Structure 1
Amino acid sequence: MVVRFRTAQGILLLWLAAFAAPVFAAAERPADVTLQGVIHDADRATTRDLPFVVPAGTALVRVDFTYEGRDRGVTITLGVADPQRFRGWGGGTKYAFAIGDAFATPSFLPGPIPAGRWRLMMTVPAIRTGDSARWSARIRFSTASNLDEVAFAPAPIRAGPGWYRGDLHSHSGQSDARCRSYAGREAGCPPFYTFQEAAAHGLDFVALTDHNVTSHFIDMGYLQPHFDTLLLMPGRELTTRDGHANLLGYMGALETDIGRPGAETVNAMLASARATGGFLTINHPSRPTGEDCLGCGWAPRDTDYANVDAIEVVNGGSTIETPGDREAAIVKQVRYWEALLDRGYRLVGVAGSDNHDAIQYRGHSPIGLQAAIGSIATVVHADDLSQGAILRGLRSGRAFVDLDEGRGRVLDMTARRGNATVAMGGTLPTGKEPITAMAHVEGVVGGQVALTVDGERRAMTAIASGTADLPLDLHRGVRQWFRVDVLRPDGRFWLIGNPVYVR
């Protein structure tokens, strides 16, 4: 048997044999512990403990177990125990699994990850007389801040770069989402319905962002293997009396009660959230706040937006629940965002349905009309469909908001000054050279590309073909930022683009 154990202090190698190939995408880095060996016919109906040491600060343990001889009737089953308790049994069906502080693979228990001696319990129910088989367990440890690895999907849902479509704001009965039970009663809405609707509406990813809690992460870990074409993104809505903000990706602890250590003020909470490495969005900032929704609008006048990644420029709930015209509610949110861009902040514009009843179409919703999952979307260019890639794509700003359901629409932009060329979300240097820019659109025939520079709408260009590259007139210069939207034939917002910045 080989045991390899990697710590910050060094690497311990105990050599006895060699074998195995990893399954997880996380295997692109070496395993922290490798256990290997050979079983023989004498091991039939026996169990052995395979010990390994988990270092302090671990938030997730991933195990990838492989063995030979299945075609010859060899069977191995696995269980796991930490230093304090039994953590689960995968039997003969689960050989690649995760046990984490916030979630675990079905059959295993989530919860705190104690440091110390853990053990795999390997049982051999079947091996024929005279046979032998090699086995290998490759084990990896991840911290809460490693958002590439502390994720429900251990490998990309889909490989390759492209435009990925998602809903960044939704709720379940783990907080305040309500829907009709099978008997027609009001009940907490299970997360399953949210993911089912996201898949049915053609989304590539969906963030479940229940208010302040992390209990929904357990459901999400269980459901990700079922929804294997849809990336489930962990999130929580930091819900305070002064405003709401979504934190995506990070699953560790975070104080949300303003006035307590770590969240002494709203700015302290934002700084703590930003330090996690997650993606932080201020939600529906221009929405009215009052007794029916404490803190729905963003109140703090001294907000340090340097600790914020994004602004929700379209919120599905606001477009339905704000009195007056839907388009006026969208315009109000976009103008709020642009005023911050004018102040020099670099904030990505995103959207979310804010749905609280995923199955409202099945009957009268107990909480009123909701924006459907996928009825508006944030579309982001990412290297693949994985948690880390989507978060990096969002942070890059190469993303747009789509106010229609379904696929096929694209809004992108490239810009050049001198030798510098950037895509939407990028930054051009200051200088005397002129800026040249091009908008790229797909699937919006009959609409118009609208150019906005430093908060001023400057030009409109009709879109006459299914795919078009349209030059942008920037001869009057740019002080800080410019961006493009696509408007519908009647002038309403269709696609909302992110800026290119000038610094």
Structure 2
Amino acid sequence: MTSMRTLAALLLVLSTSATAGAQDLVLEDTVPDDAPRYFAVPFSVPAGTVEIEVRHDDLSDANILDWGLADASGVRGWGGGNTEPAVVGVDAASRSYRPGPIEPGEWSVLVGLAKVSEPPARYRIEIVFRTAATLVADPDRGAYVPAAPLESEARWYAGDFHVHTRESGDARATLDEAAALAAERGLDFIELSEHNTVSQVDLLPAAQTRHPAVLLMPGSEVTTYAGHGNAIGTTAFVDFRVMSPPLAVTLETLTADARRDGLFAINHPALALGDACIGCAWELPTPPAAIDAVEVQNGAYSVTGLLFYRQSLAFWDTLLDEGGHAAAIGGSDDHRAGVDLEGTQSPIGSPTTLVWAEELSVAGILAGVAAGRTVVKLDGPDDPMVELFVNEQPLGSRVIAPEVTLRAVVTGADGGTLLFVRNGETVERVPVDADPFETTLVVPAPAGDVDDRWRVQWNARDPGVVTSHVWVAATGEAPVPDAGPTTTTPDEGCGCRTGGDTGSGALPLLLVFALLRQRKRC
């Protein structure tokens, strides 16, 4: 990057004009072909500066660059594809960035090579240093303190683990709009999972007082060019710049950072749409022990399920085959608080994740997910509820016994079929002919040294509900011929490693065309 530094220094001299202050900068250069996927363009902040404005341009209609800002202490924000300038001051900042002290010395504009279709990529950066602030401090911004429990009852809480507000560069909803829609749809919590920033975190306490019925959880969608993760509950920036030497960011450091005060999930692992959703499919290594949850449905099943649900279940099952215990979650990926949705977009609450928690608090929801006590309603809160017990122990439990009884309960269903799924294979189908409906399945413990895992799914014409798992401990004995499970309402199993029918859904080609309309980060 030597040429960048040289040209930047030259342009520093050239930028002293009548329209720019003596210390304002214009940095323009060509990105070398061998540049890392993420790189920094350093600049020096003069003493006395109280506000910095960074204007950026990728100088191309074909290439896409992402943008962020860092000081000597770390990353101050990541706007990604924000087209407007980034403004950071002592008491205020533009969206996607956090205010704070403006220390003199070396800072950096962070650049990500999202897409380079016409090399070489170029950029132009203008930096303005101000001794008087132009932004007014937001009275809602303050130090984050987790809200006290909104409820103290142990029950199923309904929520959405994938919601964006305007703090994400590609979103436009306000925090109040998101919270209001969540309450309207009957949700108990939402996670504000902004792209590679936690600039929303300091706004949550004030918003929580305005919306006391909906828990507003912090988080961050860890948006890389090879997959998107979800740092559920995090309040600190998670460095996402993996596979970009000389940065020492690895998947191990990324997941460790995310799990320091929360959990790490993988979002939409099968969303492979190329430039229509850059980096959305998960292509990074997947260490089972570091993954706490998988987003098995992104958006309502009726909108995107036919394209991605089957593949997402297969991804989840493979992770569990390798020894993981990740829970199932769902996320709407709503960027607009339900307003003017188009294409494949879904409103907050579609899908809805139910979490059994001891209380409605950030800590309570995190504990419920970590324990594997989740159920995903694939279209939304009005879908039926399905529960699964093993020897009367709840979801997430591991039972040691020569044989166990699985008990499934379905409420709110008008017919449909209940599927018992063992290790990713549907082995029993039971017609649902009552409301509430209950059935049991007696199964032996597996021989050998690998536990069996069981979940249930409810399908109507299309898949509707999927639970997380219970585990039946292996006996450690030599395998013997499997006599098969015994159910109180026997039906022929298919032995399919599909996790159930995918249903008819919408026309795949129409969905693909809708997705390709614009570049999205999801």
TM-score scaled by length of structure 2? 0.60
List aligned pairs for 1:284-303, cutoff 5 A. 284-300=268-284, 302-303=285-286
Whether 2:205 is the aligned partner of 1:221: answer yes
> Structure 1 residues 108, 398: CA separation in 2 closer, same or farther (over 3 Å shift)?
closer
Whether 2:144 is the aligned partner of 1:175: answer no
1:170 Cα deviation (Å)?
A: 1.0
List aligned pairs for 1:34-433, cutoff 5 A. 110=142, 150-151=145-146, 153=147, 155-178=148-171, 188-258=172-242, 259=244, 264-274=249-259, 276-300=260-284, 302-316=285-299, 320=303, 326-360=305-339, 363=340, 365=341, 368-407=343-382, 409-416=384-391, 422-429=393-400, 433=402
**In structure 1, how many angstroms separate the alpha carbons of the residues matched to 2:209 and 2:240?**
30
- For 1:441, the equivalent position in structure 2 comes to 410
1:407 Cα deviation (Å)?
A: 4.9
- For 2:68, the equivalent position in structure 1 comes to none
Whether 2:487 is the aligned partner of 1:502: answer no
> Structure 1 residues 315, 108: CA separation in 2 closer, same or farther (over 3 Å shift)?
closer
**In structure 2, how many angstroms separate the alpha carbons of the residues matched to 1:260 and 1:110?**
35
Structure 2 counterpart SS, 1:196: helix
**In structure 2, how many angstroms separate the alpha carbons of the residues matched to 1:320 and 1:348?**
23
Percent identity of paired positions between Structure 1 and Structure 2? 29
> Structure 1 residues 356, 237: CA separation in 2 closer, same or farther (over 3 Å shift)?
same
> Structure 1 residues 368, 437: CA separation in 2 closer, same or farther (over 3 Å shift)?
closer
1:159 Cα deviation (Å)?
A: 2.3
1:215 Cα deviation (Å)?
A: 1.0
Whether 2:455 is the aligned partner of 1:484: answer yes
> Structure 1 residues 295, 317: CA separation in 2 closer, same or farther (over 3 Å shift)?
farther
> Structure 1 residues 261, 168: CA separation in 2 closer, same or farther (over 3 Å shift)?
farther
1:320 Cα deviation (Å)?
A: 4.0
**In structure 1, how many angstroms separate the alpha carbons of the residues matched to 2:380 and 2:425?**
29
1:386 Cα deviation (Å)?
A: 1.2
1:317 Cα deviation (Å)?
A: 7.6
* Contact map agreement 2:377 2:383 (CA 8 A) in 1: no
1:286 Cα deviation (Å)?
A: 1.2
1:110 Cα deviation (Å)?
A: 2.8
TM-score scaled by length of structure 1? 0.62
1:340 Cα deviation (Å)?
A: 1.6
Partner deviation per Cα, 1:191-210 (whole Å, 9 max, x = no partner) = 22111111111101011101
- Segments of structure 1 that go 5 or more residues without pairing to the other structure are 1-84, 87-99, 112-143, 145-149, 179-187
Q: Which amino acid aligns with 2:468?
A: N
> Structure 1 residues 354, 481: CA separation in 2 closer, same or farther (over 3 Å shift)?
farther
**In structure 2, how many angstroms separate the alpha carbons of the residues matched to 1:425 and 1:262?**
37
* Contact map agreement 2:160 2:351 (CA 8 A) in 1: yes
**In structure 2, how many angstroms separate the alpha carbons of the residues matched to 1:109 and 1:330?**
38
List aligned pairs for 1:18-33, cutoff 5 A. none
1:469 Cα deviation (Å)?
A: 2.5
> Structure 1 residues 109, 206: CA separation in 2 closer, same or farther (over 3 Å shift)?
closer
**Number of residue pairs matched by the alignment:** 339
Whether 2:429 is the aligned partner of 1:460: answer yes
Partner deviation per Cα, 1:99-121 (whole Å, 9 max, x = no partner) = x99xxxx957536xxxxxxxxxx
1:400 Cα deviation (Å)?
A: 0.5
* Contact map agreement 1:484 1:499 (CA 8 A) in 2: yes
**In structure 2, how many angstroms separate the alpha carbons of the residues matched to 1:209 and 1:228?**
20
**In structure 1, how many angstroms separate the alpha carbons of the residues matched to 2:472 and 2:457?**
22
**In structure 2, how many angstroms separate the alpha carbons of the residues matched to 1:494 and 1:336?**
19
**In structure 2, how many angstroms separate the alpha carbons of the residues matched to 1:319 and 1:241?**
27
1:265 Cα deviation (Å)?
A: 1.5
**In structure 1, how many angstroms separate the alpha carbons of the residues matched to 2:301 and 2:273?**
11
Q: Which amino acid aligns with 1:160?
A: E
1:228 Cα deviation (Å)?
A: 0.5
1:292 Cα deviation (Å)?
A: 2.7
1:313 Cα deviation (Å)?
A: 0.6
**In structure 2, how many angstroms separate the alpha carbons of the residues matched to 1:254 and 1:339?**
26
- Segments of structure 2 that go 5 or more residues without pairing to the other structure are 1-89, 92-98, 101-137, 474-522
Q: Which portions of structure 1, spanning 4 or more consecutive aligned residues, are displaced by more than 6 angstroms?
A: none
**In structure 1, how many angstroms separate the alpha carbons of the residues matched to 2:153 and 2:300?**
33
Partner deviation per Cα, 1:177-226 (whole Å, 9 max, x = no partner) = 44xxxxxxxxx322221111111111010111010111112332221101
Structure 1 counterpart SS, 2:393: strand
**In structure 2, how many angstroms separate the alpha carbons of the residues matched to 1:476 and 1:396?**
21
